[in-house]
């Protein structure tokens, strides 16, 4: 299944039932266990994973041995619109948003709806969050 994880929140993956025949890893590749590795191949233990603000909006989990064993992980921001991570959606965030507006950005924080472009849909979501506090 597709997992939805909140950036900067820690998750425990219980891999105690996973054998060395199916090492679990997380990376930036849709269909293979190569590319940028965010969690190296693990099995037989409990591992901690914390998605960062810098990771793309979509990452994937895989069996590092079997290419067909894979699934998507969608990363969402803990507080939509808080682009500078100060736990307040304010004019500073607006300046950052405006600088990104109209640009493709695959997973950047200004792309609030994670469609790959900072556009008017994101602006509506940003305005709805403006003035809110997070945490």
Q: Which residues contact 124 (CB under 8 A, 6 or more apart)?
A: none
pLDDT in tens, 52-111: 878 888 999 998 888 778 999 988 777 889 998 888 999 999 999 999 999 888 668 898
Do 89 and 78 contact (CB within 8 A), yes or no? no
- pLDDT, position 107: 67
What is the pLDDT, as a whole number, of residue 10?
92
Average pLDDT for 36-53: 92
Helices (H), the chain: 91-100, 120-129
- What's the rounded Cα separation, in Å, for the pair 70 and 58? 13
Contact 50, 13 (CB under 8 A): no
Q: Are 128 and 112 in contact (CB under 8 A)?
A: no
Which pLDDT score, from 0 to 100, does residue 37 have?
94
């Amino acid at each position: 299944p597709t997992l939805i994880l909140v950036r900067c929140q820690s998750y425990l993956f219980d891999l105690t039932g996973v054998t060395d025949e199916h090492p679990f890893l997380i990376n930036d590749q849709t269909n293979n266990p190569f590319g940028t590795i965010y969690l190296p191949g693990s099995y037989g233990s409990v591992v901690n994973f914390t998605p960062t603000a810098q990771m793309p909006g979509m990452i994937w989990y895989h069996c590092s041995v079997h290419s067909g064993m894979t699934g998507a992980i969608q990363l969402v921001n803990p507080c939509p619109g808080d682009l500078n991570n100060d736990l307040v959606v304010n004019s500073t965030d607006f300046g950052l948003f405006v600088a990104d507006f109209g640009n493709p950005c695959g997973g950047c924080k200004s792309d609030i709806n994670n469609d790959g472009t900072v556009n008017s849909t994101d602006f509506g979501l940003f305005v709805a969050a403006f003035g809110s506090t997070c945490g």
